[in-house]
Amino acid sequence: MATEVIEHRAYARIGFLGNPSDVYFGRTIAFSLGNFWASVKLEPSEQLLIVPHPTHDLVHFDSLTHLVNRLQTDGYYGGVRLLMAICRIFHRHCKDNGISLHERNFTLSYDTNIPRQTGLSGSSAIVCAALSCLLDFYQVRNLIKVEVRPNLILNAEKELGIVAGLQDRVAQVYGGLVYMDFDKKRMEELGHGEYTVMDLNLLPPLYLIYAENPSDSGKVHSTVRQRWLNGDQFIISTMEEVANIALEGRTALIEKDYAKLATLMNRNFDLRRQMFGDEALGALNIEMVEVARRVGAASKFTGSGGAVVVFCPEGPSQAKLLEDACKTAGFAFQPVQVVPSFLNEIDLGTISKR
User: Other CB atoms closer than 10 Å to residue 351's CB: what's the count?
Assistant: 13
DSSP 292: H
| Residue 70: partners with Cβ closer than 8 Å, 6 or more residues away | 58, 61
* Strand boundaries in 194-249, DSSP class E: 194-198, 206-211
Q: What share of the chain is helix, strand, coil (3-state, %, to 5)?
A: 45, 20, 35
Cα–Cα distance, 4 to 225 (Å, whole number): 45
The distance of Cα 283 from the centroid of its chain, to the nearest Å, equals 22
> One-letter amino acid identity for 225?
R
Distances in whole angstroms, Cα of residue 82 to Cα of each of 70, 133, 260: 20, 14, 39
Select from 24, 343, 337 the least CA-distant residue to 170.
Answer: 343
Spatial contact of 32 and 176, defined as CB atoms under 8 Å apart: yes
Active site residue 181: no
Angle at 224 between CA 223 and CA 229, to 5 degrees: 100
Cα–Cα distance, 336 to 84 (Å, whole number): 32
The distance of Cα 32 from the centroid of its chain, to the nearest Å, equals 8
Cα–Cα distance, 161 to 170 (Å, whole number): 19
Spatial contact of 153 and 29, defined as CB atoms under 8 Å apart: no
CB neighbour class for 247 (10 Å; exposed up to 12, middle 13-18, buried from 19): middle
Which is catalytic among the residues 62, 96, 111, 168? 168
Show which residues are catalytic: 168
